[in-house]
A and B are shown apart, each in its own frame.
Chain A
Amino acid sequence: MDYLDALESKSICVIREAYQKFKGRTGMLWSVGKDSTTLLCLVRKAFFGKIPFPVIHIDTGYKFPEMYEFRDRLAKEWGFEVIVARNEEQLACGMGPDQGAKLDCCTELKTNALKQLIDREGFQAILLGIRRDEHGIRAKERYFSPRDSQFQWDYEHQPAELWDQYNSFLNESEHYRVHPILHFTELDIWRYIQREKLPLVDLYLSRQGHRYRSIGCVPCCSPVASPAASIEEIIEELQLTTESERAGRAQDKENLYTMQKLRSLGYM
């Protein structure tokens, strides 16, 4: 078994374990980016071509137009249903990235939009495409990570997780964040996308000397200078770079511990 097969098998086992434990109370977040699109492909493989639970897109209203277009196209092609979650109340009040701190905007339009959806639909497990190599805080995540009703991540008391035994004991109004691709690196993701010929938003590919390495909301993402216009070229580029992937993401920069605060408040 080669390396990508081993990564894939591990992810598929985690996905199946979540579904075995939480069945119809499972959902997955799809940001339309490369990582959660990879996760979507793995879910499809785990269930022999079907996606047995809802695919949730948290829409801040500030995403790239290309992302909305890609979302609707892939959902149609692969035949799955997308639940769009928006914090309408805050959007109506004009919440946005230029309204004060980034922390507040992410919290309202992403975290709280998800919170409202979980309350409404009763999800007990949410699959997410985060990876350990993205950020020092994400490097400390478990595959199954419990969150309380306030969405708090009690990172000082994370349960032990060994030998593929995942904690799934649920206290009242808790839910689990499940991270099936935690062990993939950025380079692994690109190699996997290349091998599986996955469809992708073309914002990742260079146009006029720039491309996005990480995508999210338009005002908070900056492109990086890069000539890489194909997946092969991206893989080559990543083997040489010393810049980190999230260097273009504003929410990581505002304050040293913004990411920890966001995650402990329930950010994805």
Chain B
Amino acid sequence: MRPFPIVITGHVDHGKSTLIGRLLYDTGALQADRLAEMRQSSQDAGKASEFAFVLDAFEEERARGITIDTSQIYFTSARRPYVIIDAPGHREFIRNMLTGASYADAAVLMVDAVEGICPQTRRHAKLLALVGIKDICVLINKLDQAGYDRARYLEVAAQVRDLFAEFSGTPFAIIPISALTGENVASRAREGGLSWYYGPCFLEALDAIDTPAIEERPFRFAVQDVYQHEDGAVLVGKVDSGRLATGDQVAVWPAGAAARVRAIAKYPAPDVGAASYGDAVGLFLDLDRVPARGEVVAGEPAPETVSLFGATIFWFADCYVSGRPVVIRCATQAVAGRIELLKVYDPAAPDEELDPESLNIGEMARCRIRTDAPLVIDPFASVPELGRFVIECDGVPAGAGIVA
């Protein structure tokens, strides 16, 4: 069974790594030597058992008490296996948070009951919405430090709902917990400070999230490479969207030339007859020219071919100054272009409009992108794989965006 990938997000120090360590510990999922290693390293650092050290494996992370890079750990509940993705909460490591979130189907957003909503809470919530994660479970943590105050929980929960309303979202659940004591993490805290709460604990809420169904979408296959095979040119890549069968009529974009699928190869089978979403296959097409990397084999309805398009982008590198050349990478396409910033804003302070001539780390923008060569795209909502892209500056990924 495929593990369900879930990313843990939230402001720095709101307890993300501690939650994961606690969950693994309380469910007996921590391997004996990892547990011993955690205890030893906690002791060396002069601390009681530091659950965060299970994931914060770098020496620097433990010394500074922060998560620097995203990490993944496997865990199995009574219902199913999970891949739990820890994400750093610092703004400077936002690219690592986004890297982690890009693997997830659902998310947890941690909020400190004492501090309430903080800048990275807002930024993370909006980034999760941007990358298309719909199920977000909110944990109001450190209730033990907030005197187990029900009124405080309700107050923070109301702030959370307001935040989600800004992007027309609704949290999957809002649960009062203490990651430190384990209350409402792996089991319900029926006694003690949180006995006023009757809802599900975190693990129950997690198990209640359904795996998103793979929707029926139009067929897309971005050519990754072309190999010379004894049976002719084989186009390799993965099915980015939809499904395909041998004999299907397709078109190869941006030119839009019609072709027929002669065979779908998957070694050692010369023709497997059909392929679906995610399959890495080789296509033999009846076509008089050999397509190159970056061309898109597609079914109906056809994708759009553009050299100017609208997008919402998110920046995770150093300052970008309007007009600087960039490379847009969408599926296997890579084209040079320029960004025309229309409106720049900080997702952590959405009411303030910022200087539209530059973009800084952690900021978002509405923009138009002009490319030097045609780009084959789809709206993000209809084909996510061709509706999202990474922006490179000087060869380094610096931003990400979705086609508006």
Chain A residues within CB distance 8 Å of chain B: 1, 3, 5-6, 8-10, 12-13, 16-17, 19-20, 44-49, 132-133, 135-137, 139-140, 142, 155-156, 158-165, 167, 169, 185, 242-244, 247, 256-257, 260
Contacts and interface: CB of A to CB of B under 8 A. Distances in A.
Contacts of B176: none
Contacts of B394: 169
Contacts of A135: 57
21 contacts: A9-B280, A13-B237, A13-B280, A16-B280, A20-B225, A135-B57, A139-B71, A139-B73, A142-B99, A155-B58, A155-B69, A158-B96, A159-B397, A160-B96, A161-B397, A163-B385, A163-B388, A167-B397, A256-B59, A260-B57, A260-B58
B397 A3 contact: no
A51 to B, nearest CB: 12
A151 to B, nearest CB: 18
B279 interface: yes
Contacts of A132: 72
B288 interface: no
Contacts of A12: 280
Contacts, number: 138
Given A155-B58, A160-B390, 19 more contacts: A1-B278, A5-B279, A6-B2, A13-B238, A45-B266, A45-B267, A46-B267, A48-B229, A133-B72, A136-B54, A139-B72, A140-B70, A159-B95, A160-B99, A160-B316, A163-B388, A165-B390, A242-B28, A256-B37
Contact of B69 (A45, A49, A158): A158
Contacts of B234: 48
A243 B33 contact: yes
Contacts of A5: 279
A113 B396 CA distance: 30
Contacts of B68: 155-156
Contacts of B32: 242-244, 247
Contacts of B265: 48
Given A49-B268, A185-B74, A137 B278 contact: no
Contacts of B389: 163
A262 to B, nearest CB: 13
A111 B121 CA distance: 41
Interface string B226-269: 01010000101110000000000000000000000000011110
A139 B278 contact: no
Interface string B360-399: 0000000000000000000000000100111010111100
Interface in B43-99: 44, 54-55, 57-60, 68-74, 95-96, 98-99
Interface residues of B, number: 61
B187 interface: no
B397 A140 contact: no
Contact of B282 (A13, A48, A159): A48
A221 to B, nearest CB: 15
Nearest to A6: B278
A234 to B, nearest CB: 17
B293 A49 contact: no
A247 B31 CA distance: 10
Contacts of A169: 392, 394-396
Given A161-B99, A243-B31, A48 B395 contact: no
Contact of A160 (B1, B95, B236, B268): B95
Contacts of B395: 167, 169
B276 interface: yes
Nearest to A15: B280
A242 B31 contact: yes
A48 B267 contact: yes
B41 interface: yes
Contacts of A185: 74
A198 to B, nearest CB: 14
Given A49-B268, A161-B397, A163-B390, A136 B57 contact: yes
Contacts of A3: 1-2
B57 A9 contact: no
A160 B69 contact: no
A162 B104 CA distance: 11
Nearest to A241: B31
B152 interface: no
Nearest to B53: A136
Contacts of A137: 57-58
A155 B276 CA distance: 36
Contacts of A242: 28, 31-32
Rank and list the top 5 A-B pairs by shortest CB-CB distance, nearest first.
A136-B57, A169-B395, A162-B102, A160-B95, A9-B280
B217 to A, nearest CB: 15
B230 to A, nearest CB: 9
B102 A163 contact: yes
A160 B314 CA distance: 13
A238 to B, nearest CB: 11
Given A1-B279, A162-B400, A139 B57 contact: yes
B40 interface: yes
B329 interface: yes
Nearest to A7: B2
B279 A9 contact: yes
Contact of B98 (A16, A160, A243, A247): A160
